Structure 1
Amino acid sequence: MEDQPSNPAKPRSRGRPKTANPRGIQSTASSLDVLKVMVAHSEPMHLREIAAAVGRGTSSVYRYLVSFVEAGLVKQDEGSGRYDLGPMALKLGLAALRRIDGVAAATEELARLVKNIDADGHVTVWGSNGPTVLRWLGRPSDVVVRVQEGWVLSLMGSSTGRTWAAYLPKDMLDAAVQHEFETRPAPAGSGTRTERKKALAQATEHIRAQGYSYATGELRNGVDALCAPIFNRHGTMVYAITLVSQNPGLTPQHHPEVVEQLLASTRSVSEQMGATLA
């Protein structure tokens, strides 16, 4: 039998970074700061601009840029000398986007909102017949309004529907309005079709200006609804999150913090899906 060492060294785990090397970690973090600045900027940048934004000297930032150019993460324009994100950065971004499950991300944010705000809520997509409930979650206490998954909500008669109407292409919106005229009875006192179209146009303009839709009397008297859109990297609305609660639980004037939480959630999901928001 071969002799064994009296105090054998423990095998070192492979593939795991050593935490006892702060210099390497700091270097990586500093280099990522350079990329973060370039991602946040909407156009190519000069070396001095990048260095100023990162808060480091041009010489150290230049060394990072040289490495990034070699890796394809950054490219440099030969004429102007400015730096921009390179083809490998695009590949990384697209690969990350393909791994994102928008429904899961939206549902996760909905669950957090339902718990924190104590409201019911749902996630909708645009289906063949209009805004369709994809996920519904009830609040921890008594449910205000139970909405079945698969329900198609009114385009003109719901906060959710009007939010979708605000961001649909004109041809899709016109077809959806006509479909609603033909399949849903007009609510009492809603006026003629022309008047309803005008009211919808005014509502959607307001929604686009403030970024969300609020309605009282949603589905039944005494119930409020608050809805905000979610966009993909093409700027197309793909989902909406709607909160439902008893009046005045969601009234923007009384509860601006609820609006802020909803918008923060929809913005988070939109950014995960690659949207660039103003």
Structure 2
Amino acid sequence: MAVAIRELDGRIPVAQALLFRSIIGLAFVGCIIQLAGKTYLFKTSKPVLHSVRNLFHFAGQYGWFLGIGLLPLAEVFALEFTVPIWTILIAALFLGEAITWRKVAAVLLGLLGVAVIVRPGIEIIDTAALIVLASAMCYAISHSCTKVMALTEKPLTILFYMCLVQLPVGLVLSLAVWVWPVGIEWLWIVVIGLTALSAHFCLTKAMQHAEVGIVVTLDFIRLPMIGLVGVLLYQEQLEITLLLGGGLMLLGNMLNIKTDKAG
């Protein structure tokens, strides 16, 4: 999905890309549910929670895309990866999940790994940075809502309502800046739609088997993976800091996973 977003950068407005993602997702998930004969998955007992989750999720995505246009990419990633901190705090306050020393160590090692890789400067704190930080908080609220819903809702139901709620929001924001995709841009839009669905499906399934704090800490692995994608596809330089930071993240994740097994 990151590759597709990069290929569409500057061509398709953010809200419109999110709208197309919702349309593709709604059609894809709807067809799967219908063909499987499980139409009961269209029903939910938590419509309000679905709405809250997806409004915060949309806001988080929009702020993240906006931040990419306002800040150096390194600073955006550094701020985005504060999500596990906010998620662990929210889960402790509202879901009753315990804050253990292993969770704290996992978060700190992950953040240290991010700092090693992106080396954010002191000028990181400005208005644009606060937008991305607010985006990270929105993601944390969304993740916590997903954990609550994963206890009773099926992953396909969560995905269906994600697309259903976010579609009209994306449509309203897209009308004033509409640009029709051309050529290969349609392919990248489809890639965004399908990879967003698969990522959210895996996230929801993971939250059915582990605490939300553990799941989002694993997200740290995404940064060194994105770095490797840059090396392989965009001829970006492979630096030793990427390997060192990735190693710190992996150590933190191993601590957190050990907590889950021990519990």
TM-score normalised by the chain length of structure 1: 0.30
Q: Which has the higher contact order (CA 8 A, sep 6+)?
A: 2
Larger Rg: 1
TM-score normalised by the chain length of structure 2: 0.31
Answer 1 or 2: which has greater strand percent: 1
